[in-house]
Amino acid sequence: MKLKAYKIAEMLGGVVEGNDQTSINKLSKIENGDEQSLSFLGNSKYNNFLYTSNASIILVDNDLKLEKPVKSTLIRVENPNESFSQLLNYFSDKKTNLSGISKNSIISKNVKFSDDLYFGDFSICEKNSEIGKNVKIHSQVYIGENVSIGNSVIIYPGVKIYADSIIGDNCILHAGCIIGSDGFGFNLDKEGKQIKVSHNGNVILEDNVEIGANCTLDRATLGSTILRKGVKLDNLVMVAHNVEIGESTVIAACVGIAGSSIIGKNCMIGGQAGISGHLKIGDRVMIQAKAGVFRNIKSDTSVMGIPAIKYLDYNKSYVHFKNLPAIMKSLNKLFKNSKDA
């Protein structure tokens, strides 16, 4: 895919300075740009690269004053950062603008889908499922029975969606994630053996949810495991049965959330944090990386540590953690002196 400078300027509402027939087929950083690439100058710290970059086209601010001639074609725009983001989205959309159903795939009878569906090699969709418009399903995806998938959804290779799951509009499921697997539940019998608890519920992803690579979302025992609108999960996040995550909450990699916990909206959870089961986390809560949460947290609170306590309290306590050896030495000396007195 090649784009010429004049066409890019039209897309971005910019003005070409140089050869408007210059063409590019990729995007790059300004410091390592090469021929056929487009870059941008969005930070004055990188001004020196403007004069040495080999990028064919560079986006610059309307008001930028050149200190010396440049070899690249320039496109002057109001905001180079925003304009470059537009181009990133454009190139991304072109890559995902796929259509057609592979001859190596299997779509069972009674599945409803749109004519613009893309269904990749060796993917399978079981009976009575429904797939919306403008959906891209890549290779080796498994979709169980009675699954509902909304409009403009992207499902990357190797995703497994178990029966009865519901996926809203504009969701993105990255490679290898598993939606709707059994929860981890067992009961002890009289002989002390673990008896598996059946999980008969489902998983619901509301609109605009994004699930990172290799995440696992367990189906509910009864009812639903629910991710509300706009939730974003990083890679390798584990969400157990009957968990509910509120709108626009973001969760970093390697977080584990135990069963039946409810997390509020607009929360931020750092990497490798662990949340025990049957807890209630309020709205706009910040849980720092590697925190261990064992009790409910009120809204508008920031916590840290194991067990997690208020962020400021942890920082104050940490001053003393570092000095514990010296403190204990002083205490032992005081005890000894008191005994001798």
- Annotated catalytic residues are 241
Cα Rg for the chain, rounded, in angstroms? 27
Structure tokens at 180: 């709707």
* Distance separating alpha carbons of residues 56 and 74, to the nearest angstrom: 9
Pairing of β 142-143 and β 124-125:
parallel
Q: How far is CA 107 from the centre of its chain?
A: 29
Query: Tell me, what amino acid is at 265?
Result: K
* Distance separating alpha carbons of residues 258 and 208, to the nearest angstrom: 24
Structure tokens at 68: 């010396």
* Distance separating alpha carbons of residues 99 and 113, to the nearest angstrom: 13
